[in-house]
């Protein structure tokens, strides 16, 4: 059972605790996700060199791994950092960007998952489906499947890797393999800005850093991001202005507004 | 003969077909060009690891290569991807950022061109001049030469590499070595935002992906980008606001507005 | 003795001379700092490959080194570029992002400083303190210490490395080890945008490129950036809009407005 009240409490805690979120993420979204994390109340740091990631994760409160512009050396760093995070008991969030589109991405996502260190996976349906080793096809980073498919896929992957799985789309699905939560917040302009999926993943990192019920933290982070999108879309009708207002709203929204607007359904 | 009507049709087709544009581009502009491609109606993907670029190009509709923050490993990836693109018959657009400024950039641009896979080259006059192996000097990425020079240089390089050449500046020149098209759209604030040249190159990728008359696609993409710049400058007078409004206008402009405002001259 | 009149003159000279600033900086801030440099009137270039940095620095008017997303190969490039800059007598500005947070960052910053090529160091108090080989602890890139501490640390590091040291925070401290200047401009929203410290460092590069009194150039650049922050905060109350208005103000502010608003105290 996840509620708007949970979202309110977690957002309050992010702003009070200012968790340090260590991101090993893609070049395209580094700036935007760092600004989103700051706006949210967290403290972002980006570091990817294999000879510093362990130390950096060592002072962090959550680790976010994103394979959006993968390089071979980074895979090694991700695995080192995930190991450190797992040992110290902080959440590790994986965004398998483009899994299904190339073998490198699919195999890397699975390789990271097989370390057994991942707490939460967030992707679109086709990316998450690719983790099942099916013959999923991804066209770039667009989602290709229905909500019903998404629930089935999310449950399968959550079971397979003993992790929380979030499939985002017009309706977001979050599951631990048993409990299923739908988040109905969001706006179609979010799909017109690059890296909004990656930003959702980073925010899951911030929320999970302050609440170790990762199913709840994930659903609440997605509600928060979706509500910010809805509010931003009231002030901006095109994607350039929208992406700026989205950062503004992530910063401006109060915990009680979040509680009021969060549209979380416990299936 | 390229007209505003062509621009209208191509923009309509980009929005209908949503071509996947594979970019191997520089770190500075990745986010901005991805957002510009989304705003235009295309679907961007960034990937540069040598062991996935072939596969990624294999599902793409155009390939954009940009040497703005070059690394040695990336050169190898660009050549692999260009080979794949050439084999499957999709356009390859090269942006020789900073050619003439350092030997690495000049030699890399020429090395890529000598693979015979490049469909369109877009740069400023000094960058394109550097491809002629003259003793061109580039101060950063600023253009140094006149329109008359630009036409001469563009024609020479188009002949040399059997490619469409676009030299952008206050007036844009596009040529296949025989036909010459001038595009008079644009605004001086475009020079105050980093990566606008790179963004023009990415948009040429999107337009070329849906029309295999690359001379036409290139001129129309430049008219589209220039018109968006003109419209953005009506709403913003400083570069921060301007770069955001530019994304808004790329998204908001209708094909018939583009036809109306495109200022294309067939010399 | 540094005054608002100095700031006016240096800003005028940046806009007249349009110095080329070579940045070897972190992925997160590349786009934003390039836009800030353009807005200021300078010409930015980013290049980091070891086999082109020497040549690029060779045509530049200042070099900015930033260790925010360090990789081992980049360290080598930074040292080559710094050597070239030192030989030709242009300023080299070092931003030791995250020094104290990991050994790699601390050791790299000290290694670069020990080349004896650095003209100006800019960081927050904990980053600069880490350069003293104390057991400084950095939590991400947040400053942890008081203004009095900052002056003591800045003076110590300036002496140790014979460089200008700037510690930025609510009050900025600039010193050559003897003379101490405080800059009181700025706004708390600057801390809510990623890379504002890095941007200040890049602007110090632009100002130092046109005035070889680096203490003066550094203090004036910080006043300029702080004034732009104050003006931006009058137009934007949340960090997304603020970061865009900040670029606008860097562009729009006139030299005489800068003189008027600069709040520089010679201790």
pLDDT for residue C145: 59
Structure confidence at residue C133 (pLDDT): 65
- Domains along chain A? 4-266 (3.40.1190.20)
- A27 at interface of C, judged by CB pairs closer than 8 A: yes
Q: If pLDDT is split at 50, 70 and 90, which confidence band does B147 have?
A: confident
Q: What is the pLDDT of residue C146?
A: 80
Q: A178: exposed, middle or buried (C-beta count within 10 Å: 0-12, 13-18, 19+)? A: exposed
What does the pLDDT average to over A204-226? Answer: 98
pLDDT for residue C137 is more than 80: no
C154 pLDDT higher than 80: yes
CA–CA distance, B107 with B99 (Å, rounded to integer):
8
Q: Do A55 and C31 make contact, defined as CB atoms within 8 angstroms?
A: no
Distances (CA, A) of C126 to A22, C90, C131, C198: 19, 27, 9, 15
Q: What is residue B188's predicted lDDT score, i.e. its pLDDT?
A: 97
What pLDDT is attached to residue A138? 47
Contact A20 C140 (CB under 8 A): yes
- Mean pLDDT, range C74-97, rounded to an integer: 98
In this predicted structure, what is the pLDDT of residue B34?
Answer: 98
pLDDT, averaged across chain C: 95
CA distance A87 to chain B (A): 30
Query: What number is the average pLDDT over the span A19-25?
Result: 98
Q: Distances from the Cα of C250 to the Cαs of C35, C170, C227, C243, in angstroms?
A: 10, 19, 9, 11
- State pLDDT tens for residues A92-121: 999 999 999 999 999 999 999 999 999 999
Mutate to test the interface with C, among B48, B74, B102, B248 (most CBs of C within 10 A): B102
- CB contacts < 8 Å between A and B, how many? 91
Whether the predicted pLDDT of A162 surpasses 70: yes
Reading the block at residue C210, the tokens are 């046109």
Has residue B140 got a pLDDT over 60? no
In the sheet where C180-183 sits, what is the strand order?
C43-46, C20-24, C62-66, C92-95, C120-123, C164-167, C172-175, C180-183, C264-266
From the CA of C65, how many Å to the nearest CA of chain A? 16
User: Are A30 and C28 within 8 A, CB to CB?
Assistant: yes
Contact across the interface for C52 and B141, Cβ inside 8 Å: no
CB within 8 Å: A69 and B48 = yes
% of chain C exceeding 70 in pLDDT:
95
pTM for this structure? Answer: 0.96
| C60 or A144, which is more confident | C60
Where is B169: in which H helix or E strand? Answer: none
Q: Quote the CA–CA distance of B176 and A26 in Å, as a whole number.
A: 37
Instruction: Suggest the residue from A26, A53, A244, A245 to mutate for an interface test with chain C (most C CBs closer than 10 A).
Output: A244
By Cβ distance, the residue of A32, A139, A238 closest to B20 is A139
- pLDDT higher than threshold 50 for residue B137: no
**pLDDT tens track for C27-60:** 999 999 999 999 999 999 999 999 999 999 999 9
Nearest to A166 by CA among A227, A238, A98, A96: A96
Chain A environment of C141 (Cβ under 8 Å): 45
C-alpha distance from C192 to closest chain A C-alpha (Å): 6
B195 at A interface, C-beta within 8 A: no
Question: A108: which chain B residues are within 8 Å (Cβ-Cβ)?
Answer: none
Tell me how far CA of residue B256 lies from CA of B15, B31, B215, B226, in angstroms: 13, 28, 21, 15
pLDDT beyond 50 at C143: no
Arithmetic mean of pLDDT, A46-69: 98
DSSP A46-59: E---HHHHHHHHHT
Question: Is residue A198 within 8 angstroms of chain C, CB to CB?
Answer: no
Contact status of C55 with chain B (Cβ, < 8 Å): yes
Report CA dihedral (B40, B25, B125, B103) to the nearest 10 degrees: 180
Residue of C34, C46, C188, C194 to mutate, testing the A interface (most A Cβ within 10 Å of its Cβ): C194
Return the pLDDT at C149.
82
Secondary structure E strands in C41-138: 43-46, 62-66, 92-95, 120-123
Residue A67 is predicted with a pLDDT of 98
Helix H or strand E segment including B93? strand B92-95
Predicted confidence at residue C134, as pLDDT, reads 55
Burial-class residue C24 by CB neighbours within 10 Å (0-12, 13-18, 19+): buried
Q: Residue A190 above 90 pLDDT? A: yes
A247 — pLDDT class (breaks 50, 70, 90): very high
Q: In chain B, which residues have their Cβ closer than 8 Å to the Cβ of A28?
A: 30-31, 34, 46
**B38 in contact with A at a CB cutoff of 8 Å?**
yes
Does pLDDT of B16 surpass 60?
Answer: yes
Place of tokens 């959006």: A68
The answer to whether the CB atoms of A243 and B35 lie below 8 A apart is: yes
pLDDT digits (tens, 9 = 90+) for C1-11: 999 999 999 99
* Across B161-186, average pLDDT: 97
Query: Which chains have 3+ CB pairs within 8 A of C?
Result: A, B
Q: Which residues of A touch C26 (CB under 8 A)?
A: 46
How confident is the model over B202-233, as pLDDT tens digits?
999 999 999 999 999 999 999 999 999 999 99
Inter-chain residue contact C27 with B31, CB threshold 8 Å: no
- Per-residue model confidence as pLDDT tens digits over B76-105: 999 999 999 999 999 999 999 999 999 999
Which chain A residues touch C31 with a CB distance below 8 Å? Answer: 31
User: Pairing state of beta strands C180-183 and A164-167?
Assistant: unpaired
Predicted confidence at residue B134, as pLDDT, reads: 55
> Given CB atoms, is A136 within the 8 Å cutoff of chain B?
no
Sheet of A92-95, strands arranged across = A43-46, A20-24, A62-66, A92-95, A120-123, A164-167, A172-175, A180-183, A264-266
Determine the 3-state secondary structure of B99 from DSSP.
Answer: strand
Report pLDDT digits (tens) over A116-128: 999 999 999 999 9
Q: Is A48–C69 a contact, with Cβ atoms under 8 angstroms apart? A: yes
Higher pLDDT, A193 or B143: A193
| pLDDT surpasses 60 at C189 | yes
Contact A68 B46 (CB under 8 A): yes
Query: How confident is the model at residue B234, as a pLDDT?
Result: 98
The pLDDT of residue C188 is above 50: yes
ipTM: 0.95
């Amino acid at each position: 059972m996840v509620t708007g009240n949970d979202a309110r409490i977690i957002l309050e805690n992010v702003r009070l605790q200012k968790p340090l979120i260590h991101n090993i993420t893609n070049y395209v979204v580094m700036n935007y996700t760092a600004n989103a994390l700051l706006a949210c109340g967290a403290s972002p740091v980006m570091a990817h060199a294999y000879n510093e990631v362990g130390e950096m994760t060592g002072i962090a409160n959550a680790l976010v791994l994103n394979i959006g512009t993968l390089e071979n050396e980074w895979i090694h760093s991700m695995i080192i950092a995930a190991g450190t995070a797992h040992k110290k008991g902080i959440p590790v969030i994986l965004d398998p960007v483009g899994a299904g589109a190339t073998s490198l991405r699919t195999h890397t996502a699975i390789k990271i998952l097989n370390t057994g260190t991942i707490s939460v996976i967030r992707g679109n349906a086709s990316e998450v489906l690719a983790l099942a080793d099916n013959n999923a096809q991804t066209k770039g980073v667009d989602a290709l499947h229905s909500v019903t498919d998404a629930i089935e896929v999310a449950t399968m992957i959550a079971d397979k890797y003993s992790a929380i799985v979030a499939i985002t789309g017009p309706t977001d699905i979050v599951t631990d393999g048993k409990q299923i939560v739908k988040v109905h917040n969001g706006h179609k302009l979010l799909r017109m800005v690059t890296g909004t999926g990656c930003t959702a993943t980073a925010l899951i990192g911030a929320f999970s850093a302050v609440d170790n019920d990762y199913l709840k933290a994930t659903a609440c982070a997605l509600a928060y991001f979706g509500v910010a999108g809805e509010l931003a879309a009231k002030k901006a009708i095109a994607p350039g202005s929208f992406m700026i207002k989205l950062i503004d709203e992530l910063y401006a929204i109060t915990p009680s507004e979040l509680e009021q607007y969060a549209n979380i359904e416990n299936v």
